[in-house]
Structure 1
């Protein structure tokens, strides 16, 4: 180690070394620059400065660091701060979901044309259905596409998975007796994407006909205290279509007519049976994440349902009219055939005609 009295950069050239009697009191420029404090100028002292010396900027650690190291440290701190800032403020996006979807639902009530609600044969309740309408039992009538081809941005496997998920939703929401007349809803909720489950829950806890929070917009359901099934079989006719809405979303549209055989809750097996018809048009959006998770976004629900009274509240449960005579229809609503898929389903109240070919 050097002598403590030596300047930081060594003995200046030309110095007299240890023989120089002023060696301990003479300092070169490098020694002065390395000092932690510096004496005030005469002008500063005359100005009334409270101290005779000032400390140079920079603590012990930073004062001894090379300028390149300080610059590098500053750059690291700035980069880290920028990363934190942009990480917090950048908008969050769902890379694979259909995000932002919200169900919009509309129900057209179909009232009897005249006379009242006819009784069906308890032993063969669907005998009156016209064969030309192509009804089948349950999921066999869903009309799923046989050829599930790939789209521009979705593989054949993804398209097939999306159709299968929609099929499960349809089965749970319009064919399962537990949902239809037993008040259960968990199977339907489980097939919804997480960002729609809150809207679904609100539709159950506080159903209202506001086009967004009706329980009957999500599923076909009847009040278990009033309605029972005469048979678990549901007659179904319709179709399912698939299209690519955008590079990240598949759109699946379904259009079905469903016929239920109903009787009053708790009625004997020989009690009166009536047919209740629902035409249900649904639009589903499925992103990559939805397809992988086996869930859907239900975007639109348009339904025609009857026979019901036009003024009946049907946000919580569909309200079939019982077998027997009914009063005249309110106003002059147009006649509607719920099996005629050439006509739009989005209406308000209409007179029901029997499903026909």
Structure 2
């Protein structure tokens, strides 16, 4: 211990530890030296036992000392405060990110228009394969095979790879929202929700809980009420394509336009005639750089023309097709051919042109009023 000067807790009053003379300063220890020692000598009674060493190691740190415990508690509080501040800063920065100028737009639900098209007479019925064969849907692809992507190219602020990503995600959304039997049958919605931008997911869930005429479920995806309508053939036919443009320096806009043909029948035995139900749909979607990175879509506008339906059908919850042998109580002004590339939509209800129905044989059944 030669050369050691003051004890760990400082020199006690009087100048010399323990009150000894100055010349014995190097060999006199106070209580603080004893507490700080790394080794402790065994007592006389302990030395009577068989031991190979006269000393034992002391614990490194003992929080039994109130001063040590106080120091450790202060350090712990300081560390917890630093972690808490860092966590709060991360949440604040994340919630205030600009998202390429599209965060505000992404928080809005899509603008939606759903127009029922009513037939002039009874809805014809027949075998699903024959219904497809006798309509323009005979030339359509099955599911995603009926959707064509344009050749991607770069825009002023988006690379070719980003454009290709936007087109691919847009196609995935069309497939999930109109061509997936589980979604169309009302069994699930997660394929659609998982493709939506985070800012729209809450609007999507709110619509499912309480659909309104201005914000119907069918603005997000197409589905039937399984208690009244089921798919007669899960192989849904489709024909459509996509266009894209850079609407602003921060947003890539993709428009999807397609015609989808379903064969439907009432639930229960599958021996009754099916009916052809056709939907012409246009979706306008936006993609920011963050949307492209996350492979998600911001749905901006939806236009849906669907028939055969009654003009008084409520499409807020689901589409309500007329089945084989049923008829509409009335039809609206102006005929619309759903298979025509330029259909003439009307504000509330339209009349389904002959071209919108197959030429299969008539089916029996009561009309719906």
TM-score by length of 1: 0.69
2:127 is aligned to: 121
Please show how residues 160-309 of structure 1 align to structure 2 within 5 Å.
Answer: 160-210=164-214, 213-268=215-270, 270-309=271-310
If each structure's helix is expressed as a fraction of its own residues, which one has the higher value? 2
Alignment CA distance shift 1:346-1:299 (3 Å): farther
Shift of 1:337: 0.7
Shift of 1:298: 0.5
Q: Distance in 2 between matches of 1:305 and 1:254?
A: 16
Structure 1 portions without partners, runs of 5+: 1-83
Shift of 1:143: 2.0
Q: Deviations over 1:294-331 (max 9, x none)?
A: 1000000000011111101110010011211425425x
Shift of 1:351: 0.7
For the 8 Å contact 2:246–2:253, the answer to whether it is kept is yes
1:312 is aligned to: 313
Runs of 4+ in structure 1 off by over 6 angstroms are: none
For these two proteins, the number of residue pairs brought into alignment is 263
Q: Distance in 2 between matches of 1:191 and 1:209?
A: 24
Q: Distance in 1 between matches of 2:316 and 2:99?
A: 31
Which of residues 146, 149, 167 in structure 2 aligns to 1:144?
A: 149
For the 8 Å contact 2:334–2:346, the answer to whether it is kept is no
For the 8 Å contact 1:138–1:233, the answer to whether it is kept is yes
Please show how residues 93-108 of structure 1 align to structure 2 within 5 Å.
Answer: 93-95=98-100, 97=102, 99-101=104-106, 102-108=109-115
Q: Deviations over 1:213-263 (max 9, x none)?
A: 211110010011111111111111221101111111100001111110111
Q: Distance in 1 between matches of 2:328 and 2:240?
A: 32
Q: Distance in 1 between matches of 2:338 and 2:128?
A: 23
Q: Distance in 2 between matches of 1:135 and 1:98?
A: 37
Considering only aligned residues, what root-mean-square deviation do their CA atoms show, in Å? 2.3
Alignment CA distance shift 1:347-1:323 (3 Å): same
2:136 is aligned to: 130
- 1:318 partner SS: coil
Q: Distance in 1 between matches of 2:293 and 2:282?
A: 24
Alignment CA distance shift 1:207-1:291 (3 Å): same
For the 8 Å contact 1:303–1:345, the answer to whether it is kept is no
Q: Distance in 2 between matches of 1:335 and 1:307?
A: 12
Shift of 1:92: 5.5
Structure 2 portions without partners, runs of 5+: 1-88, 357-369
For the 8 Å contact 1:98–1:249, the answer to whether it is kept is no
- 1:95 partner SS: helix
For the 8 Å contact 1:96–1:290, the answer to whether it is kept is no
2:353 is aligned to: 353
Shift of 1:123: 4.3
